[in-house]
Amino acid sequence: LRPIHRLLSSAGTAAADVRREEQSLGSAETGSEDRTPKKRFSEVQKERREQAQRTVLILCPNKISEKKFLKYLSQHGPINNHFFFESFGLYAVVEFCQKESVASLQSVTHTLSMGAEAAIPFRSRFFNLKLKNPLSQTSEQSCLPRSNQLPPSSKKLFELLCDAESVDDQLNILLKEFQLTEENTKLRYLTCSLIEDIAAAYFPYCEIRPFGSSVNGFGKLGCDLDMLLDLDEIRKSSAHKTSGNFLMEFQVKNVASERIATQKILSVIGECLDHFGPGCVGVQKILNARCPLVRFSHQASGFQCDLTTNNRIALKSSELLYIYSALDSRVRALVFSIRCWARAHSLTSSIPGAWITNFSLTMMVIFFLQRRSPPVLPTLDYLKTLADAEDKCIIEGHNCTFTCDLNRIKPSENTETLELLLKEFFEYFGNFAFNKNSINIQQGREQNKPESSPLHIQNPFETSLNISKNVSQSQLQKFVDLARESAWILHQEGQDHPSPSSNQPWGLAALLLPSVANSMSHAKKKRKKPASERVKNLLESIKSSSTENSTNTNGK
């Protein structure tokens, strides 16, 4: 049930002070490699959060005059920026310069009762604009710019990649096309902020924070929105009150374990979202999972949301990945390409199962980049040595300390091209001794596997855990086979020098499109020996000709 608010587009009289320039939130988020200081994760989160609190979401009629719309809204105060997008209807995201403007707008709206249906009044920042006199089709309406929230189609991507000038260029194009846009990022923080308004009905001062790929630099347009219900602000405000006659502001209920507390909290929030959450549909409470969560679709933004609580380590992991993603522009380009490659070959899936997750793949790329000589990325142990007292962070007994200041980390001296790194990634993992070694980004070197799971990637903070415990031997084998095949395709191309203008899929395009990759390899299989034999011979020859790069990789 959604509150319906009516805005009259003709009523605006105040001068429209519409500032449209984007406020850049620093190069760390965009991945550009300039020498301007990079923002800390916490600074970006704080700024984005504050920005979202000044922002409203409006469902608009299909025919709308942008000028009149902005003029009307600016009665409530100056607008910092806005954009339109299509979801199930036309939506506007409007960011005011001041938070007070939101309250001013809310004060002139009203709830529309819908005949036989009854609306439960809820003061949200999600409005529905109903015009008294809908506009007739105007030329202005038809060219209303709409911000795209989806990645390019496979066909479009294929064309772009085939038109590129080099493999390096292809990886950068893929990154540019798939990375979260400024608008999409704003919409993610706004969605969290809208959900926070609902959760705050139960837990005043709670915060809903985005984590995972929405904030760690590796988010792809269309990825899910991971949210954390953070009750620590409430805990913190009462923690310093240790004296006095009252133990807390309120009597609290105790339950048998943290897990039960988490389940109970998520259960009531799930109910709340289901019954009163504007635009929240398909709410599922998945409370018996290892990490209990509430999953729902936020219909207006189009995001699939996973809400968890009591999961601060995941937020810290997101911060660590954010740092790695921002240290060197090659990191994101490589991670995006590997993630797309894995998706194209069904190595990853949106359904949970025995496959590798994007999180694990990202760890594998980071580990590989730590193993280069000289390393592209430093080890987690090195980031710990740069930490100061302010960075100290212990969560549930786990040491999650590392420097939060990106500017303290020296840039890498490695100058390898993306093309080489991509090829070497496939060769490295095509040959990795998964049967005996574990991947460990803390130390940046292989270690003996402590248990027998086919794939062992040490959780960077809860070091006794394996983040890829779910992966089966057959899925791992599929990954190894595809990595070898891809190394072989890139190696062949390096020798054949295919012409980018030949209209044939080449480079990354040949690796990404399964049908193309298969047909290419089938064609080559016909001409030559069986693939397994060719790949084996090739890898043998590469191994014997290349020097080992297993030293000097701890990033110090």
Binding partner of residue 467 among ligand GTP, Mg ion, none, CB under 5 to 8 Å per kind?
ligand GTP
The DSSP-derived string for 293-359 is: EEEEEETTTTEEEEEEES-HHHHHHHHHHHHHHHH-HHHHHHHHHHHHHHHHTTSS-SS-SSSPPHH
Q: Kindly list the residues in this chain that would bind ligand GTP in the complex (CB under 6 A).
A: 211-213, 216, 223-224, 226, 314, 317-318, 357-359, 459, 467
Site string for Mg ion, 225-244 (x = CB under 5 A): -x------------------
Q: In the complex with ligand GTP, which residue's Cβ is closer, 404 or 535?
A: 404
Q: How many residues are there in the chain?
A: 556
Minimum distance from CB of 304 to Mg ion (Å)?
9
Q: In the complex with Mg ion, which residue's Cβ is closer, 224 or 481?
A: 224
Minimum distance from CB of 280 to ligand GTP (Å)?
18
Residue type, 105: L
Q: CA nearest 30: which of 160, 179, 149, 173?
A: 179
Binding partner of residue 169 among ligand GTP, Mg ion, none, CB under 5 to 8 Å per kind?
none
Minimum distance from CB of 220 to ligand GTP (Å)?
6
Task: Output the six-digit token pair for 328.
Answer: 């060197």
Minimum distance from CB of 76 to ligand GTP (Å)?
35
Taking CB positions, which residue lies at the least distance from ligand GTP?
212
Q: Is 517 helix (H, G, I), strand (E, B) or coil?
A: helix
Cα–Cα distance, 153 to 251 (Å, whole number): 55
Minimum distance from CB of 61 to ligand GTP (Å)?
34
Question: Residues 422, 171: contact at Cβ < 8 Å?
Answer: yes
Q: In the complex with ligand GTP, which residue's Cβ is closer, 193 or 317?
A: 317
What is the four-CA torsion angle of 531, 534, 538, 541, rounded to 10 degrees?
Answer: 150
Question: Residues 88, 299: contact at Cβ < 8 Å?
Answer: yes
Taking CB positions, which residue lies at the least distance from Mg ion?
212
Q: In the complex with Mg ion, which residue's Cβ is closer, 215 or 476?
A: 215
Minimum distance from CB of 356 to ligand GTP (Å)?
11
86 scored as a contact of Mg ion (CB under 5 A)? no
Q: Would you say the C-alpha torsion 190, 194, 195, 200 has a positive or negative sign?
A: positive
Minimum distance from CB of 556 to Mg ion (Å)?
32
Question: Residues 300, 91: contact at Cβ < 8 Å?
Answer: yes
Binding partner of residue 171 among ligand GTP, Mg ion, none, CB under 5 to 8 Å per kind?
none
* Residue 128 bridge partners (DSSP): 59
Q: Is 114 helix (H, G, I), strand (E, B) or coil?
A: strand
Binding partner of residue 357 among Mg ion, ligand GTP, none, CB under 5 to 8 Å per kind?
ligand GTP
Site string for Mg ion, 192-221 (x = CB under 5 A): --------------------xx--------
Q: In the complex with ligand GTP, which residue's Cβ is closer, 457 or 483?
A: 457
Q: In the complex with ligand GTP, which residue's Cβ is closer, 30 or 213?
A: 213
Cα–Cα distance, 146 to 66 (Å, whole number): 11
Q: In the complex with Mg ion, which residue's Cβ is closer, 28 or 228?
A: 228
Q: In the complex with Mg ion, which residue's Cβ is closer, 316 or 449?
A: 316
**How many other C-beta atoms are found inside a 10 Å radius of the C-beta of residue 189?**
25
Minimum distance from CB of 471 to ligand GTP (Å)?
10
Residue 507, H or E segment? helix 507-512
Q: List interacting residues with Mg ion (CB under 5 A).
A: 212-213, 224, 226
